[in-house]
Structure 1
Amino acid sequence: MDRLCCFSSQLAGGRSSCGSGKGRSHQGPVKYGFSLVKGKANHPMEDFHVAKFVLYQGRELGLFAIFDGHLGDSVPAYLQKNLFANILKEEEFWTNPSTSISKAYERTDTAILSHSPDLGRGGSTAVTAILINGRKLWVANVGDSRAVLSHRGQAIQLTIDHEPNTERDSIEDRGGFVSNMPGDVARVNGQLAVSRAFGDKNLKTHLRSDPDVTNADIDAGNELLILASDGLWKVMSNQEAVDIAKKIKDPQKAAKQLVAEALNKESKDDISCIIVRFQG
């Protein structure tokens, strides 16, 4: 196996399932913890995650992601294995991270569609975070998994929820429509409850896969970052999540507590949560 393949394998996380774990930076005080619980729907767990620190070209990168699949687990599993590797393959990553992340998202989606007979007809949302040397944070997303930063105890949403009603014009310009049936959420063509996603070949002409990308400088005012699937955010506000997490120093215990709170609030979906704590 060549060096690039070896490094690509290091970037992938283990297969997500019900459980939790934690880790820490080797060069600073940053720690992370995660917790994942299968929802009550009658299908296998469709959430996957990445949470790890790696050394790359003389820098330490914290790589964190949640991939929330629908109609099967093949697409989120593919993203878990390939998306970060594709981002870091971009030659201009260090000089223009935003463009590199956007290009990698689009190229990864193209690869998924070209493998659609093997990966099936499903798709996945994604929220990714790259922490460079514990100081610079780059966050991107497609869909409704979300990243929330705590700054001096105040919740700051770093991502944009890509919902059909908010991107109706884009969907209709592509020849699709948004349904709003009583008792249900808005859906693209009556099917998908997000307006951007990886995969979903049958709907792709009406969907987007380009991410929203943002960045933040991590300083003494930033306590922690929460990444979570919509199984958490459907039942909990950003500030509620921050208020719970900031009281628990161990990020694994904090992630487990957020999942437990979501279950207490009767979330039915798969629930996945990663907490990155920047300070002790």
Structure 2
Amino acid sequence: MTGKEILYKMKEKVGLGSSDADSGKGKSKMSKNITHGFHMVKGKSHHAMEDYVFAQFKQVEDKELGLFAIFDGHLSHYVPDYLKSHLFDNILNEPDFWTETEKAIRKAYQITDSNILDKAVELGKGGSTAVTAILINCQKLVVANVGDSRAIICKNGVAKQLSVDHEPSTERESIEGRGGFVSNFPGDVPRVDGQLAVARAFGDKSLKKHLSSEPDVAVEFIEDDTEFVILASDGLWKVMSNQEAADSIRQIKDARSAAKHLTEEALIRKSSDDISCIVVRFQ
């Protein structure tokens, strides 16, 4: 066991683990009505928790950014840990972030993945999905993702998906075009080269020729009927639809309590995966 692995095990024993806490909350300084909360639950697998959460409001000169992300690792926790520490910095360091935000996010995703691949000896053979949401001045929400962690927005009681689930079955043509294949064996879900159950991810150096880390990006504007946004790893979405998730927390005004309720509901519905959830409330 390496020194880094020993440190991680020590943190896990005292309850620090992936995001230093399994629950947290915060609020905007620009708008007292906007709050966020998150909650995490380890799944039934025998490996350490591989989900990481990032959730904070950040002042940048005269602007405010809400920065929210779920990083769902596979084969190790090192890649999602790296993403938590570096992805938002890379996005904000792009010189055209304020003028061409979507372009800057795409470029930062690419740069971050290249850096992860360059550090494969240190970070190992694993990878991670990611869904990020950047709230600019409480008005504009920019969501990006690779993999199957998901973001939805609820307006006037109606849930709308903002991210794209990158599944091997729907991206078979592009995977095969890069020389890979999609197989349901071993197991019962389509996998890239029979190994990975998502078609896009950070890392995964051994599969990278057949994988993409190109994010899908969506922009949504916050309006009077905007109630909340949910970001969550696939441990939630495997057992709940977008509308079911929205309906289950619509009457819960505290964002952290809402996030905790979603994780608990997923457990009741027999989700066995790591579950991480962020709720951003606008009312």
Matched, 1:235 2:236: no
1:110 alignment partner, one of 99, 108, 114: 114
1:77 alignment partner, one of 81, 91, 107: 81
Is the Cα–Cα contact under 8 Å of residues 18 and 51 in structure 2 kept in the other structure?
no
Helix, strand or coil: the match of 1:124?
strand
Shift in Å, 1:181: 3.3
Q: How much is the aligned-residue C-alpha RMSD, in angstroms?
A: 1.1
Question: Which residue matches 2:167?
Answer: 163
Distance in 2 separating the partners of 1:218 and 1:60: 14
Matched, 1:151 2:155: yes
2:264 alignment partner, one of 246, 260, 264: 260
Question: Which residue matches 1:184?
Answer: 188
Helix, strand or coil: the match of 1:138?
strand
Question: Which residue matches 2:10?
Answer: none
Paired residue type of 1:22 = K
Distance 1:242 1:183, change over 3 A: same
Helix, strand or coil: the match of 2:110?
helix
Shift in Å, 1:17: 5.7
Distance in 2 separating the partners of 1:245 and 1:65: 19
Shift in Å, 1:247: 1.2
Helix, strand or coil: the match of 1:249?
coil
Gaps (5+ residues) in structure 2? 1-16
Distance in 2 separating the partners of 1:71 and 1:183: 17
Q: How does 1:1-280 map to 2 (within 5 A)?
A: 15-16=18-19, 19-28=22-31, 29-181=33-185, 184-279=188-283
Paired residue type of 1:134 = C
Helix, strand or coil: the match of 2:99?
coil
Paired residue type of 2:124 = G
Shift in Å, 1:15: 4.0
Helix, strand or coil: the match of 1:62?
strand
Distance in 2 separating the partners of 1:45 and 1:270: 7
Distance in 1 separating the partners of 2:180 and 2:18: 34
Paired residue type of 2:156 = R
- The alignment of Structure 1 onto Structure 2 pairs a total of residues equal to 266
Distance in 2 separating the partners of 1:55 and 1:179: 46
Distance in 1 separating the partners of 2:186 and 2:64: 49
Is the Cα–Cα contact under 8 Å of residues 167 and 195 in structure 1 kept in the other structure?
yes
Distance 1:220 1:208, change over 3 A: same
Distance in 2 separating the partners of 1:243 and 1:137: 21
Distance in 1 separating the partners of 2:20 and 2:269: 21
Deviations 1:235-276 (A, max 9, x none): 000000000121100010010000000000000000000000
Deviations 1:185-216 (A, max 9, x none): 10000000000000000000000001000111
Shift in Å, 1:182: 7.9
Distance in 2 separating the partners of 1:251 and 1:202: 39
Is the Cα–Cα contact under 8 Å of residues 17 and 45 in structure 1 kept in the other structure?
no
Question: Which residue matches 1:5?
Answer: none
Is the Cα–Cα contact under 8 Å of residues 17 and 48 in structure 1 kept in the other structure?
no
Helix, strand or coil: the match of 2:206?
helix
Distance in 2 separating the partners of 1:110 and 1:170: 20
Shift in Å, 1:224: 0.1
Question: Which residue matches 1:7?
Answer: none
Distance 1:259 1:72, change over 3 A: same
- List 4+ stretches of structure 1 deviating above 4 A: none
Distance in 1 separating the partners of 2:277 and 2:145: 15
Helix, strand or coil: the match of 2:265?
helix
Deviations 1:128-180 (A, max 9, x none): 00001111000000000000000110000000000000000010000000002
Paired residue type of 1:133 = N
